[in-house]
Structure 1
């Protein structure tokens, strides 16, 4: 397939950058267009003269840009043939989304998410398509989920010493969908939440007018007195907790706290929904199995371990609860597409090698960023045992001011109040360590500048 002159010009748009050499700016624009799909990878680029005419530059500029793209692995040129657009090895093996790399000016760390495992994902898509015949012959409505995927997830729980049958699993289009379905079914008037916690569930609860009652959690653990008070207030309702590498603090709930939660839930008739999206991102040197909260409903997804674009999540509960959820009017709209479920099956079958590689990269990046920021009296933090981010407490300024200053230097961050049900934590900041070390160096530099220089 060939990219036409007009298609190239349209895809690149206003690609020139003040202060940047034309060839460098053109090469960057082509790479960015390939990453976000405006130029199709595997297609042939226009001939040099035609490209130059379409873009309003000299042929020499196009030749120089192609040289850069070849050196960086973006194009493949064979003698006598047009240049073919491709993705470089670095772009297909890294776990960092291009938006968080800062390759095109802005480092966007407002979302702590990984990029897809490029080659394994593509292979999974091909295998899923090859075996999709029986699914395509059906209506497209999967009810509680494809039986094979439910069995696979149930087997993973059982292997982790939580005996689970397939009928205890319901497939959704992610953890937000799982939480929305549970909320619609349980209809709690009050929900106990951690402060801080992941901002998407907070937004979901607020849209339904649910009252939120919080308990404080930090990198050192959960405030059990506040937890007790929150469960008492939420009696007959629901609690949404992230006990495993809590988002955003990275804290791991101790066994004593888990037992306390289970006792409080039974005493006050509170349904505990434990979000396990981060559970597999255990970065401890010698991980030990972590006991789950007894009696809790578990929700999980592939968003943090594989890719947020794989819209597959699940609920693990009693067979009776799953049966009720499967008959809820929202079950089908909140379910994952059949083809997505097939892709998930292919990836979850052999997930451990992928997790092992990702944990190693994240551990290295966490330690590097922690080392860059350690010993600075402008912030305090605890190195988290898992997850995707540091939770910084700023000592010299508010987080909203720092994020504004950081934005002026090309770094987008999420301030603490967006994670708090009560809009507190104005001096806290979530700082993901998902980018590679070279980008983390830039992040640390921007933080220093945003705070007015070291020791300011």
Structure 2
């Protein structure tokens, strides 16, 4: 890479108030992450680069030393310096936005994992090698590639829910799955948890359905409110996240699952159970998790693998899958065939990814719990799974804490965003997806509020 090409790639990087060498190192990292610099590119010699950037050679030397120490640059004696993604990035659990490595802000507004880079790239190569039959076809995915439907069905069967491939409809994520189901059933009222998955609220509101809420805390589901909400949603839908609930991390007990099934039968409510977080079981001694009898099941690879893998699914009776497939929205909400091939490769052998992810998330959860425990300004229940802590603030409104955190470089989301009725003003979600060093900073900022 020539010095002029690198200068253009770095863009405007001065004027941030930080030392020039720090700013230059940051600019190189950001350009590499944005794709403006290709990993493996050779950097110009220090003297030429300094002249092109209008800085001293010492500034360039210090910036490269910083990048070399953190693994972003590799120098081979006599052969120059190459930019690269360090192992900490390629094997990370948290995305760059959640650690501050992609900019000044630690962005925790989404509790999401980073891609398992090595396994993802290997799966992509394997998918490309056997893509001939897909590329030779018309490209319309229909209800999903047969091999992916078979892999998903086999996972359900292994977990005790006998499933045939024709009971699986592949979508481009859980939001797409919920959108398609809502468009098909056109519910007048939908029962929803408070709090719940933000994007699910967006989907349901856009469909014009009235929301009947019931409370979930770190201690579980409010059964009286649950019964009232199902009665209000008679003949409609109920959207639930029973497995490591988003955002509380709570696991629905077998007794509550039976109650949900009974209420659904009594009030003719169709239950949609979102199992996106089911794989993120952080219990020390996991046991089998039963499913809600009669529920339609939706899931995706978004939390277990990566949000950028836009593949989800619906598990339902085969006749309903056929009806959904014929819906006008089924095509636009389906996943591209090549992504389905990649998902097939990853879901066929997910254990290596999940094993490491669970271990790291468990350690990070425990670290954050230890940092926040014993402070009377909030209380929380240690979640058995999921990606975040759900804090109940004792006095300070959550919006105040969010503003304070933002002023100190940390972006969080207050409780009302997760509520169908704009309540939960004293609740705050704090993801434990970042590494412990970042969680230390998060806890310090919360403690200074």
TM over 0.5, shorter chain: yes
**How many angstroms apart in 1 are the aligned matches of 2:268 and 2:4?**
64
Q: Which piece of structure 1 moves more, 268-277 or 82-91?
A: 82-91
Partner of 1:454: none
**How many angstroms apart in 2 are the aligned matches of 1:239 and 1:413?**
28
> Per-residue displacement from partner, 1:261-289 (whole Å, max 9, x unpaired)?
11111111111000000001000011111
Partner of 1:313: 312
Aligned pairs for 1:176-255 (under 5 A) are 176-255=175-254
**How many angstroms apart in 2 are the aligned matches of 1:393 and 1:190?**
29
**How many angstroms apart in 2 are the aligned matches of 1:311 and 1:53?**
45
**How many angstroms apart in 2 are the aligned matches of 1:36 and 1:317?**
40
Aligned pairs for 1:20-419 (under 5 A) are 20-103=18-101, 104-419=103-418
Shift of 1:132: 0.9
**How many angstroms apart in 2 are the aligned matches of 1:54 and 1:395?**
56
Q: Is the 8 A contact 2:16 2:23 kept in 1?
A: no
Shift of 1:290: 1.0
Say whether residues 1:15 and 2:13 are aligned partners: yes
**How many angstroms apart in 1 are the aligned matches of 2:383 and 2:178?**
25
**How many angstroms apart in 2 are the aligned matches of 1:356 and 1:366?**
15
Shift of 1:67: 2.0
Aligned positions, number? 448
Q: Is the 8 A contact 1:190 1:234 kept in 2?
A: yes
Q: Is the 8 A contact 2:415 2:429 kept in 1?
A: yes
Shift of 1:321: 0.7
**How many angstroms apart in 1 are the aligned matches of 2:427 and 2:28?**
38
Shift of 1:66: 1.6
Q: Is the 8 A contact 1:35 1:98 kept in 2?
A: no
Q: Is the 8 A contact 2:389 2:431 kept in 1?
A: yes
Shift of 1:6: 3.9
Q: Which piece of structure 1 moves more, 184-193 or 75-84?
A: 75-84
Q: Is the 8 A contact 2:182 2:207 kept in 1?
A: no
> Per-residue displacement from partner, 1:47-68 (whole Å, max 9, x unpaired)?
3233223322122221221222
Q: Which piece of structure 1 moves more, 143-152 or 42-51?
A: 42-51
Q: Is the 8 A contact 1:312 1:336 kept in 2?
A: yes
Shift of 1:209: 1.7
Q: Which piece of structure 1 moves more, 163-172 or 20-29?
A: 20-29
Give the secondary structure class of the aligned counterpart of 1:311: coil
**How many angstroms apart in 2 are the aligned matches of 1:344 and 1:396?**
45
Instruction: Show structure 2 runs of 5+ residues with no match.
Output: none
Q: Is the 8 A contact 1:415 1:429 kept in 2?
A: yes
Q: Which piece of structure 1 moves more, 21-30 or 437-446?
A: 21-30
Q: Which piece of structure 1 moves more, 62-71 or 211-220?
A: 62-71
**How many angstroms apart in 1 are the aligned matches of 2:8 and 2:236?**
53
Give the secondary structure class of the aligned counterpart of 1:305: coil
**How many angstroms apart in 2 are the aligned matches of 1:98 and 1:258?**
37
> Per-residue displacement from partner, 1:155-183 (whole Å, max 9, x unpaired)?
00000000000000011100001100111
> Per-residue displacement from partner, 1:9-52 (whole Å, max 9, x unpaired)?
33322323544221122112211221232221122223323322
Give the secondary structure class of the aligned counterpart of 1:360: helix
Q: Is the 8 A contact 1:45 1:82 kept in 2?
A: yes
**How many angstroms apart in 1 are the aligned matches of 2:396 and 2:386?**
26
> Per-residue displacement from partner, 1:415-447 (whole Å, max 9, x unpaired)?
000000000000000000000000000000111
Query: CA-atom RMSD, angstroms?
Result: 1.2
**How many angstroms apart in 2 are the aligned matches of 1:362 and 1:230?**
33
> Per-residue displacement from partner, 1:197-227 (whole Å, max 9, x unpaired)?
0111101111222111101111111111111
Partner of 1:430: 429
**How many angstroms apart in 2 are the aligned matches of 1:132 and 1:45?**
36
